[in-house]
């Protein structure tokens, strides 16, 4: 695997972790504003981290 693909995968994984932590930090009103429940947020945060990213991080998009 080329170094650039490895770096992109690591960036994607880190972004995914940040997004999951942000979901868990939201209160119920904020979650409801984006169409999620507390159960949805917890389920998203507990998904395996090794699931492939479907989109590159913003920093790597062209």
pLDDT, tens digit (0-9, with 9 covering 90-100), for 1-57 = 688 888 888 888 898 889 999 999 999 999 999 999 999 999 888 888 765 555 554
pLDDT of residue 62: 45
What's the CA angle centered on 25, arms 41 and 22, to 5 degrees? 75
For residues 36 and 18, the answer to whether their CB atoms sit within 8 Å is no
pTM exceeds cut of 0.95: no
Break the chain into its structural domains and give their ranges.
3-60
Q: Which two tokens stand for residue 12?
A: 């994607």
Instruction: Determine the 3-state secondary structure of 37 from DSSP.
Output: coil
- Looking at per-residue pLDDT, the higher value among 17 and 61 belongs to 17
pLDDT value of position 27: 96
For residue 4, what are the CA distances in angstroms to 1, 9, 62?
A: 8, 9, 14
Residue 61: pLDDT band by 50, 70, 90 thresholds? very low
């Amino acid at each position: 695997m080329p170094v650039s693909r490895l770096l992109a995968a690591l960036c994607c994984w880190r972004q995914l972790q940040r997004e999951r932590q942000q979901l868990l930090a939201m209160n119920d009103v904020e979650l409801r504003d984006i169409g999620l429940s507390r159960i949805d947020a917890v389920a998203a945060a507990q998904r395996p981290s090794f699931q492939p990213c479907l989109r590159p991080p913003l920093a790597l998009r062209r």
